[in-house]
Structure 1
Amino acid sequence: METHQTISADDGQPVTDGTQADAVSAGLEDVDIRRIRQMVTFIRSHTTTEILAKVLPRKTPAYVAADLAQHCRFVHGSIMVFPVGTVAAAAGRLSDIGLDPGPPRPSTVVRSRVARRYDLSASDLQIQILHAALPNVPGNCAEEIEIFVCPTDPGGRHSQLVDDERRSNRETHFALKVLVPENHLLKRLWGLLTGPGLMAPDGGGFNPHEGPIGCTVLYFQTSGQLLPQGWPRRLELVIDGHQQILAMHLQATRAQGQDDLRSGPPALPDTELETPAATVPSQEEPTRRMLELLTGAWVTQALCVAAELGIADHLEEQPATSAELASLVNADADLLHRVLRYLASLGVVRRSDQHWRLTDLGRTLRTGALRDVARLYGGIFYHSFGSLSHSVRSGQNAFEHAFGLPPFEYLNQHPDQARIFHGAMAAGSSWFDRVPEVINFKDVNTVVDIAGGRGDLLRRILTASPSTRGVLFDQPAVIDAARETFKREGLLDRCELIDGDFTAEVPPGGDLYVLSRILHDWSDDQCVDILTNCREAMPETAVLAIIERPIPTDNRPSLAIAWDVHMSVNNIGGRERTVDEYRELLTSAGFYLIDERPLVLDMAVLTAAPYPAAN
């Protein structure tokens, strides 16, 4: 079992999640030290997206987590502890074990909740909030733990509270900071959580002591626990300022009987719920939402500018002010500042102490990640989409109308754009790592990667399966570019690089043939020709793996739906297809579909085998 060395015991030796014995400490008892360590380790190892995946119910649609991750950032996990002595003693103990607590702040919301829950007087509870910075935190994880410190008295008035909280962790939650607290956005996020997110309002309030202008906190909870920790599946939205949505949230909490019940919220059905009536948008909302959609082109261009200037690469090295960034990228300081402010509203960067920092979302724009994708979609593909109307009216290809050449012929004549295109294709292939996990290469002697580009997928396969050999088949210029990479990675002796045209023939004799993101570039008739060439080259015992992004037939959200329009714009005859449509193509070429195995980003591996030849 993997452990993380997060904080140290009194003797300076590292400990891991309380699995080693803790020395008895003044201020905090062993049980609370262990609980703190457990939370620290958890926080350090989970990003915003991963927290949402853990807390949201299993049947929550993927777009809910994606929208929340775009507008929120995981900032801390919370836990309540009970020092024997004072808050100052507890803070001192936190410093001793490697945390860096800030000054205590009075609790308002939690103090009231706890008092009502256990029928105590609020004046008897001196709950303070300590935010403690975590050491050596990975760049895409939260940077602090929030600790509610509740000193207990010798008379035992708090014994029920202490025992119940240590057992059930009712105040434990995971906080998401809303990056841009606009009222319409807060309503939308609230509707996502309480509607398709299947979470129930769980109280909240305004704490004037948190931050320079105070903050509104909204709690949400759903049934079940995070195991093995036994923590409730509970989220907190942290919003700067006193927000109007608080009144609606508290009203919904009271209406559902959720506020401060010891039993927690009732179990929610394992189906999607309709958004409560309180979240029905005003007449302004459809107009605002349409304006957001219509300005999507502005988003694309702002991201493209950030990619062209290498903003993510610079901020990954160190935070910078607008003026410092302008100097680094040779840009106008005022205009760059305004673009950065726009990017912050999109959740790409965030600003504190006049310095810009990357968010988890922004890190995807680094070199080697999606930087070339942003340059491609904000470059030639942005221009080609301008001809979509002509294409829809005429049935002609939009790219060819915009540039006067078919897409691949244009790239052959513009090597600078071809480099961006190939970089984008490689960067958009994060799901390659999953392919060796869903296909068993143990008994595969030879893999033939047809039109495999520079061999990014084939290299992963060969690395994951040392006994397998490979054949990379593509155009001569592509093969020449791939050769040096295979040599540098020590794989050239296990891979044959063959140039040719897969629309005419493919190399024979492989055990597994791979068509990765190839068929969606071609018309149905051309796909049948390509598949037929594969069938003629394959032994009857061989298998064909098609990697594509199938269009779902059950109306669930999928990237494939937008990419289908993209293929119509930027490929002649290209389209995304349903699994049944791929099955028809396979049948026409002499294959039958064996199964479908999901990958990330809505990709899938469709495995097929050739029909036996007739005797």
Structure 2
Amino acid sequence: MITTLSGDTSRLRTTVDFVKEQDTVTLLPLLLPGLDGPELRALVEHCHFSHAALLVFPSGEGELRTMLTGCGLVAAERPQPSVVVRERLALRHRRRAADLDVSILRPEVVGLDGARRTVEVFALTVPEGSGLDTIAAHERERQHEAHVAFQVTAPDPLVLRGLCAVFARFGATPDGGGYNPHENGTVFYFAAPDETKAGYRRVELYVPGDYRDVLAAHLEEHRVRQPAETLLRLMTGAWTTQALAVFAQLRVPDAMDIERGVDVDVLAHDIGARPRNLATLLRYLAMLGAVEEGRDGFRLTELGALLRAGAAGSMRPLALMYGGPFYQSFAGLAHTVRTGQVAFEHLFGENHFDHFARDPELAALFDQSMAAGSAMFDPVPAHPALAAAAEAPAGATVVDIAGGNGELLGRVLAAHPRLSGVLLERPHAVEAARRRLDEAGYGMRCAFRAGDFADVPAGGNVYLLSRVLHDWDDERCRDILRHCARAMPDHADLLVIERVLPADGSASLATAWDLHMMCNVGGRERRAAHYARLFADAGLALVDRTPLPLDGHVLHARKAGTPTSSV
């Protein structure tokens, strides 16, 4: 909970600073790019910036107060129930509203301009062991409830319709609203345009009084527009995949700068493209946040920089893989759903492992794409089982089964200088891993073995299976786990790294990858209970599981009946 509290406090402190530093005149053009002149003056005349809101996740009221104090906030009143946010969370996460304790506080802050504003703090209580951590993680990532608010002064129906029209003219779209009879206030929500520079995607217009007649037209426009627009955005997702893949393929990010813009004509000349066509691509990528357009041309963002070749943490290989072979095979998804045959095999005539191994360039790209998912590995070297193995008197051995190009094993060896490693892979991958670990300076501490799952070496202290089991059906997984169990000494630990399907059906990257595995690989993602059954069938027992970024988990298993006190 310490990390959670610290993270929420940091988010809250950022919100407090934002409320202090912004004012109506500067914030509105950030939210609605292009807003200027008479329209800006009209908005400033009739509404003012009143608050920014966020949702935090304390374990109780005491932790909430600690969080507020850490940000210099004083809440005069006790937290009050927030029925609206509670119902939205219940609907979004398919939970009973009665099971969610959501409160609201409005501590006051004074802006740099001397104006008094508030920070609207919604708090979902997440007691330890409550099972609400998945909701908290999802909401922290998506920030659904974060918004900025403006209060309308001296409103009337004509003014309200005019304000809504100005918002629409500059790209904001209706996003719900309601009337609160307890406060006698009407709320109009808008989704900020994609080009917004304020850091918030949701805008609230609060109007004292009952203006449900104007609100009805606002809500009707929201109902009419949102389903079609949402569906249209979903149906054009393939465009996004290809735009990012082409951006990476043409090495456009490598020719751009984060600090300053570059003229399209110059950029087109550098990469060998048509200026007009490149400009069209870049404008689309600006909507995605990969680039930004300014007076001096297009500038690369931190998100776009992840597609640079050879950069630390580069995701370029993933973009090329998802926009290449896997993009092609997804066209056969209907065939997979209808017949059960893997679309990749239907299209290419063989499974993806054999297909990639047959083509050296594709094999290298696949290995690089697996390594590019390394963000989910960052906490793995700190796992208690690895830390305990590193403290063994004579050191210990980590066996990475199907370890790819050695990305994960290299991270483990870097974090634990006393450990040695063994990497088991196919021959072509073993050589790539040997080169990588030699270059990193860990080759002398690592043995390399070419082979299959039947060749898992015995005598290791910790065994790693990273994103392996999701490639296979249950029967093959049992075989793999039995090979591991036979090789493992009684004291050894098995760490299985996979995305785990949520038991409650909440949104997760694992659900998306479950579809990908079915279509392209012939495997599947699974729930933790499903993995526990597979472990049990192989004579292993699930000890615990630890969450990782990108909805990953470390599933820690040992031989059934083995004490776990050593870790």
The TM-score range, normalised by the shorter chain, is 0.5 to 0.7
Given the alignment of the two structures, is residue 303 of structure 1 paired with residue 244 of structure 2, yes or no? yes
Contact 2:329/2:343 (<8 A) preserved: yes
Provide the C-alpha distance between the structure 2 equivalents of 1:111 and 1:366, rounded to a whole number of angstroms.
Answer: 46
Aligned residue for 1:583, secondary structure, equals helix
The residue aligned with 2:224 is: 283
Provide the C-alpha distance between the structure 2 equivalents of 1:556 and 1:309, rounded to a whole number of angstroms.
Answer: 37
Provide the C-alpha distance between the structure 2 equivalents of 1:341 and 1:373, rounded to a whole number of angstroms.
Answer: 22
The aligned runs of 1:185-264 (5 Å cut-off) are: 197-199=144-146, 202-203=149-150, 249-250=204-205, 252-254=206-208
The aligned runs of 1:588-603 (5 Å cut-off) are: 588-603=537-552
Superimposed CA distance per residue, residues 422-469 of structure 1 (whole angstroms, 9 cap, x where no aligned partner): 111111221212112334423311111111111111111111111111
The residue aligned with 1:543 is: 493
Provide the C-alpha distance between the structure 2 equivalents of 1:239 and 1:110, rounded to a whole number of angstroms.
Answer: 22
Contact 1:436/1:460 (<8 A) preserved: yes
Q: Structure 1 pair 287/111, CA: closer, same or farther in 2 (3 Å)? A: closer
CA RMSD of aligned residues (A): 4.2
The residue aligned with 1:430 is: 375
Query: TM-score, normalised on structure 2?
Result: 0.64
The aligned runs of 1:175-186 (5 Å cut-off) are: none
The partner residue of 2:282 within 340, 343, 347 is 340
Provide the C-alpha distance between the structure 1 equivalents of 2:171 and 2:341, rounded to a whole number of angstroms.
Answer: 54
Contact 1:434/1:599 (<8 A) preserved: yes
1:347 to partner: Cα distance = 2.1
1:114 to partner: Cα distance = 8.6
**2:208 corresponds to which letter in structure 1?**
R
Structure 2 gaps, min length 5: 1-6, 23-39, 52-107, 121-138, 153-161, 164-168, 175-190, 212-217, 390-395, 563-567
1:51 to partner: Cα distance = 9.9
The aligned runs of 1:528-607 (5 Å cut-off) are: 528-572=478-522, 574-607=523-556
**1:568 corresponds to which letter in structure 2?**
M
Structure 1 gaps, min length 5: 1-49, 58-73, 82-105, 118-161, 175-191, 208-212, 219-235, 258-276
1:239 to partner: Cα distance = 9.1
Q: Matched residue pairs, number?
A: 415
Aligned residue for 2:423, secondary structure, equals strand
Provide the C-alpha distance between the structure 1 equivalents of 2:536 and 2:239, rounded to a whole number of angstroms.
Answer: 44
Provide the C-alpha distance between the structure 2 equivalents of 1:240 and 1:469, rounded to a whole number of angstroms.
Answer: 50
The partner residue of 2:315 within 363, 370, 375 is 370
The residue aligned with 2:11 is: 54
Q: Percent identity?
A: 38
Contact 1:594/1:607 (<8 A) preserved: yes
Superimposed CA distance per residue, residues 304-328 of structure 1 (whole angstroms, 9 cap, x where no aligned partner): 1101011222213653122111111
**1:299 corresponds to which letter in structure 2?**
T
The partner residue of 1:473 within 406, 413, 424 is 424
Q: Structure 1 pair 528/163, CA: closer, same or farther in 2 (3 Å)? A: closer
Contact 1:79/1:173 (<8 A) preserved: no
Aligned residue for 1:441, secondary structure, equals helix
Contact 2:50/2:118 (<8 A) preserved: no
The residue aligned with 1:328 is: 270
Contact 2:402/2:423 (<8 A) preserved: yes
Superimposed CA distance per residue, residues 495-548 of structure 1 (whole angstroms, 9 cap, x where no aligned partner): 11122111x230000111110000000110000000000000001111110000
Superimposed CA distance per residue, residues 83-133 of structure 1 (whole angstroms, 9 cap, x where no aligned partner): xxxxxxxxxxxxxxxxxxxxxxx999889989999xxxxxxxxxxxxxxxx
Provide the C-alpha distance between the structure 1 equivalents of 2:419 and 2:459, rounded to a whole number of angstroms.
Answer: 14
Aligned residue for 1:282, secondary structure, equals helix
The partner residue of 1:455 within 393, 406, 415 is 406
Q: Structure 1 pair 114/525, CA: closer, same or farther in 2 (3 Å)? A: closer
1:356 to partner: Cα distance = 0.4
Aligned residue for 1:401, secondary structure, equals helix
The residue aligned with 1:397 is: 342
The aligned runs of 1:402-417 (5 Å cut-off) are: 402-417=347-362
Aligned residue for 2:223, secondary structure, equals coil
1:559 to partner: Cα distance = 0.6
Aligned residue for 2:388, secondary structure, equals coil
Q: Structure 1 pair 110/597, CA: closer, same or farther in 2 (3 Å)? A: farther
Given the alignment of the two structures, is residue 512 of structure 1 paired with residue 462 of structure 2, yes or no? yes
Aligned residue for 1:428, secondary structure, equals helix
**2:444 corresponds to which letter in structure 1?**
D
Query: TM-score, normalised on structure 1?
Result: 0.60
Q: Structure 1 pair 431/414, CA: closer, same or farther in 2 (3 Å)? A: same
**1:510 corresponds to which letter in structure 2?**
G
**2:418 corresponds to which letter in structure 1?**
S
Provide the C-alpha distance between the structure 1 equivalents of 2:530 and 2:171, rounded to a whole number of angstroms.
Answer: 52
Aligned residue for 1:356, secondary structure, equals strand
**1:550 corresponds to which letter in structure 2?**
V
Q: Structure 1 pair 377/279, CA: closer, same or farther in 2 (3 Å)? A: farther
Q: Structure 1 pair 536/323, CA: closer, same or farther in 2 (3 Å)? A: same
Aligned residue for 1:454, secondary structure, equals coil
Contact 2:330/2:343 (<8 A) preserved: yes
**1:608 corresponds to which letter in structure 2?**
A
The residue aligned with 2:291 is: 349
**2:270 corresponds to which letter in structure 1?**
L
